[in-house]
Chain A
Amino acid sequence: MKLTTISFIVCLFLYWSNHNFYDVYSQQDELKESIKRGIEIYNDFCVTCHSPDGKGVENLYPPLANSDYLLNNRKESIRGIKFGQEGKITVNGKVYDSKMDPPGLADDEIADVMNYITNSWGNKNDQIVTVEEVSEIKK
């Protein structure tokens, strides 16, 4: 009886760890692919103002590189890309008040570009932005 219980627990553990391992692995793969697509979107829709190094333009367009706003305001950032950004925001201690027009991206494109910008220029985000997450963000 004891043996059965132990083997059951071991099996369960193995299953759990394996499952988890598989999940993490596939998610990282997904993230990589999403970032790759995100680069294309960034270079088409965002680079003009936010610049190739993500540093933006001083006093005009806020930086994405090492941006506290971007990493601490995930939902707001997605909303900004989806519906446009308006009003004052504080990024790394500086106030920006430029309007950003909604770029007209589909939800999957927004997820891709979010995954790129939150994993570039010193930013790190292990929790992949998914299409579902973007689709749930409302105006």
Chain B
Amino acid sequence: MKTYIILLSATLLTIFACAQQLESEVKAEDPVNLTYSTELVVPDLNIPWGMAFLPDNSILITEKSGELIHFKDGVKSNVNGVPDIYVRGQGGFLDLKLHPDYETNGWIYMSFGSSSGEGDGGNTTVMRAKLVDNTLVEKEILYKAEPNSKKGQHWGSRIEFDDEGYLYFSVGDRGNRDVNPQDITRDCGKIYRLHDDGRIPEDNPFVNSDNAKAAIFSYGHRNPQGMVKNPFTGAIWVNEHGPRGGDEINVVEKGKNYGWPVISYGINYNGTTFTDITEKEGMEQPLFYWVPSIAPSGMAIVSSEAYPDWKANVLVGSLKFQYLERLILENNVVVKREKLFEGIGRLRDVIQAPDGFIYMAVEGKGIYRIVN
């Protein structure tokens, strides 16, 4: 009898264990002796999705609903000449980024949902323009992902430049998990690389592949909503939303496949599984994965002297748990995680601004600065 019970327990335990997700080994903790606090800089914003700091210390802010706000000397004004924005589900007016040589050329890069082109719905678009007299001028569409889709999910989209001046941006899988991310002849579920004027670099990984979208730099992504150039290595880092569990940090490399949805640490929202494997040859492992999901958005790697004890730490906004996560790494391995400013609100974006301070965009609140 006793043997039966042991055998039964062992069997049940095995079955139960198989259905369990592998939780993140390092858990998020409350901070000890946090010496920093937050200061509200721009009040009363709805969904500030992206922000950029101009040389005169004024701030450009995208509102997902389709407005571009210029915050200068304590006053908000709406920028004119904004493109037509297709607002649906997670799509709308998304990221903003200044050209590294903005002071000389004045280019501002932005991503948004657009319904231009054939078919119902919309898809992620990247445009550049200049700001003259509070109006966007010289607008140039650099890339429009295809096809249009009425799905509300997974548009990406963050924009970043590397040290060589290449422009990177992300487009999520647009809710078409089983079709888009693993197919390099299709857009969506990809990180793209372009020259700053939209030309496709000749040494992009798939320029010689049949029918491939030549702007693709890496693929097998789900929905990257955080992207930053690592100020210490120059590499492009992203974080992306998983489904239920399985959010990831990835260091993006040329031509690599990041595995979605063939490998994943996540499961479907309803608890069923879509894959049994978390690793496979030819597919990259994330630098870190979150189980349970924090719903990461925005990403910064601290290099500023303003936060000496945070040097080289990775900061990630959590939409779901409404805090700023600080990840401490040793040799590219996450060894400690902290929950900062818990309860601040849905944290949409975090950046280290040219003034050296960290700024956070919070839904329903505004933009905060982290101060001593």
Contact = CB atoms under 8 A, between A and B. Distances in A.
A104 B363 CA distance: 17
Given A44-B153, A57-B320, A103 B89 contact: yes
Contacts of A77: none
Nearest to B47: A101
Given A52-B269, A52-B270, A104-B87, A44 B363 contact: no
Given A44-B89, A103-B152, A104-B89, A52 B47 contact: no
Contacts of B119: none
Contacts of B270: 52
Interface of B is mostly: loop
A60 B346 CA distance: 10
Contacts of B271: 52
Interface string B147-185: 000011100000000000000000000010000000000
A51 B320 CA distance: 12
Interface in B271-325: 271, 295, 320, 322
Interface string A102-118: 11110000000000000
Contacts of A86: 364
**For A57, A101, A105, which residue has the most chain B Cβ atoms within 10 angstroms?**
A101
Contacts of B65: 101-102
A54 to B, nearest CB: 11
Given A103-B88, A104-B89, A51 B152 contact: no
A125 interface: no
A99 B45 CA distance: 11
A64 to B, nearest CB: 14
Contact of B88 (A47, A60, A104): A104
Contacts of B295: 48
Nearest to B321: A60
Nearest to B322: A60
Interface residues of A, number: 17
A44 B89 CA distance: 8
A104 B64 contact: no
A46 to B, nearest CB: 9
A45 interface: yes
Contacts of A51: 269
A105 B151 CA distance: 10
A101 B152 contact: no
A85 to B, nearest CB: 11
B58 interface: no
B46 interface: yes
A45 B46 contact: no
Interface string B28-49: 0000000000000000001100
Given A99-B364, A104-B89, A44 B320 contact: no
Interface of B: 46-47, 64-65, 87-89, 91-92, 151-153, 175, 269-271, 295, 320, 322, 346, 363-364
8 contacts: A48-B295, A60-B320, A60-B322, A99-B46, A99-B364, A102-B65, A104-B152, A105-B88
A-B complex: 4 closest residue pairs judged by Cβ atoms: A104-B88, A52-B270, A99-B364, A45-B152
